Structure 1
Amino acid sequence: MNTSTLLRAAVCVALCFSTAAHAGIGQRFPSERKVVKDPVTGTMLTFLTSTPQGDSKIYPTHPQWTSDGKWLVFRSNRVQGEAMAVNEASGALVQVTEGGYTGMLNLAQKSMKLFFMRQAAEKGVLQIVEVDLAAVFRDSAAGSMKAPDAYQRIAGTTPADLEAGGDMALDADEEWVYFRVGRNAAAKHLPAGAKIEENFGPRNMGAGPNGIARMNVKTGEIRHVVSVGFQIGHIQANLWNPGEIVFCWETGGKSPQRTWTVRSDGTGLRPLYPEAPYEWVTHEAVITKDEVAMALMGHRPVKDGGGGVAAPATGVYGANPGQDAAWGDAGTREKPTGLAIVNLRTREMTIAGQTPSGSGLWHVHGSPDGRFAVGDDFARSLWLIDRKTREMKLLTTGHKDTAADHPHPTFNADGTKIQIQSAMLSADGKAMNIVVVPVPKEWLKRKQ
């Protein structure tokens, strides 16, 4: 071995030890990218991760891709408590947080920024953190990472008496974030005579009050938005209309009134879709500037004429949530069910489609251009819908109903791809990976 070879080897070893010692933001991992043909549908699935490392995608209420469309950010146990990003083209894996995070990861769509909450040293105090992803990716590729503070900025902190936590959402103007506040803080702003709800359903969730507050990420200013008499979940911002918020009454299952919307100044509070007692509404997601997709569940067997329960037609009776009688009679196909889309302006609702059998569509999303909708089912299969023709197509299946979580399909910004999480490649049938599913080319070529 000549001198130059020895020198290169020594440098390589030094760099490896340096990376291992730092093990922080900008740390890189080998590509795991694999393209796998679905054995049933023939769809070519791009597995951007393919080892059992505790991967899970961002929830469908929030963007998955960075603003340049090149990277997907996700949760992982590759570094415990930290977020990762994967380059869709190369498969490069990069750690994009250091110091941990809690709740939702928020990818800006006008800038290469990431926002999240992080527990501060003081109990009950949360920091709102901004990450400069462009700088992280640039310096990580060059092997010239700086200290974490060069990439992460504390935009502000929430006082302990707010009892802040839960989901956080970045407004379309990228100047404000919305987050949940606890019972005591919310109670101070409740309207006189407001009803305080008790827990609803067998999971003993849903009691209020709760509230939403907002913080300016440039100044750290905090303002109260709204208080309600029930438990708030899934706070999301309309990514096209600044100041428009969608959230839900969270019970862990069927809610008396699941979906809600409000303006950032607290005005306009109303049910998004006024639901009937027999309807089981869930998994709402803002999909276009004027529309919210949601699932009207059709997963429960219909009672027979004698008051008993008919033989389950779903094939999943008892294998998935919501089948127990304590939820009441909602969620059967005696009434219309399926992937519903509500217009925020006209308040009109349409059903884009429903599976002919089985549980029906469960977690739903839609392309921002209004062309397509997508949903998964209890079997973890993925269904694509042409909103104009109502045609449905099975994109991929076999993602194992033993998986640690559900596929949670989410479209990218131009409506050409769908991200899911999948246990298809997992030996234990549980560990999930990050997967991109293409919209078929023949569908993309159709006239709008």
Structure 2
Amino acid sequence: MSLKVVIIGGGSSYTPEIIDGMIKRHHQFPVSEIVLVDIDEGERKQEIVANLAKRMIEDAKASIQIRYTKDRRKALQGADFVTTQIRVGGLKARALDESIPLKHGMIGQETNGAGGVFKAFRTIPVLLEIASDIHEICPNAWLVNFTNPAGIVTEAVMKHSQHQKVIGVCNIPYNMRSGIGEIFNVSADRVMIEFIGLNHFVFGKRVFIDGVDQTDEAMRHLIDDDLNYSPANIVSLPWNKNFLQSLNMLPNPYHQYYFQHEEILAKDLQAYRENGTRAEVVMEVENKLFEKYKNPNLKEKPQELEERGGAYYSESACSLMSSIYNNSMDVQTVNTLNKGSIPDLPSDAVIEVNSVISASGPMPLAIGPLPDTISGSIIQLKKFEQLVIDAAVTGDYRKAYASIIMNPLVTSDEKAQMVLDELLQAHKPYLAQFDKEVVNV
């Protein structure tokens, strides 16, 4: 029986991680064909990645055929799983998402604040086109979305596309489990965290090691030992002990943008002045990675890949696909429809939640009402996300402004409009949905 996976954004530097994850799981997830898909701008990188993937597969003696193409519709024929890891506008667009808000004294980050809004504006229309193709060509295929902002993009597809076999994944829950594993000197697979919240705004409500509740001990370590588990793309600062004690839940690294706003902004501005944007740093990392990828003797993913902030996505994505294929009924953390898991949020809202993974997809576990300490923030963030989706789909300027100003990281109505207008102009080639006359309001 053939099993086909299509990777859209095949020229991404992350692709070797996915290939590595599939090779490691080949005995339980017997992929027979992988097709990489990219656009003209990514053609050369895709060829380099494809050649490395072939060497990795040959070295592992895995019976997997790998191909690459720019013809997305042809690639989708017969697909069982489709993964999306795209960046509309590339790293140059990310640099604008970061630099323009920073210029106005705001957080400049690719998935949070004004920059995250514009990444969503550029990405949602493209993901809707991809979902439409999937629904027409391979309607039984699962769409596994890694593209950030993953929660917003996943909800947009589920609300505005006919294709409903859609799941979002993020590496942050895995990073948090790994961090807790290091604290307790155990592997991540022995750690279970009860997650509650949204993508990049999720909290660890309870911690279990081998099924034993170790929440108090985990919090004690986090409070007393100044530990963190930040990925490479986030500046790490120690948490205020009173904050952790009053929260009594694990924060995730992205919470620093919201709860340590002034300190993070100061560090980001300093880093911007000294080294440019994070996007420019990543460009250098990518250049080095692709030079390594070209090496005909390289037959494994290089260690340097971990310098990219999204390292370990393959652990989430490949485990998810394998569990769906095998109807494993195990528990994984994904972005999926709420369906009453958190009664404070709409049933059709996408949340980041522990779910039982079956052949029919994720079944979210009931969490119950949001704790008082975080309910207001999560409800506000969800309302903000829904404004972003509405603006991205309609191209309405006023809805775009509403989504910007309702983001907690945007603190001035005047600056919100300046940043909105500058980013609309800067990204005009990728924002066809916004009326050209309205952009200059």
TM range (shorter): under 0.3
The alignment's TM-score, normalised by the length of structure 1, stands at: 0.26
Query: Which one has the bigger strand percentage?
Result: 1
Higher RCO, 1 vs 2 (CA within 8 Å, ≥6 residues apart):
2
* Higher-Rg member (1/2): 1
Query: Which one has the bigger helix percentage?
Result: 2
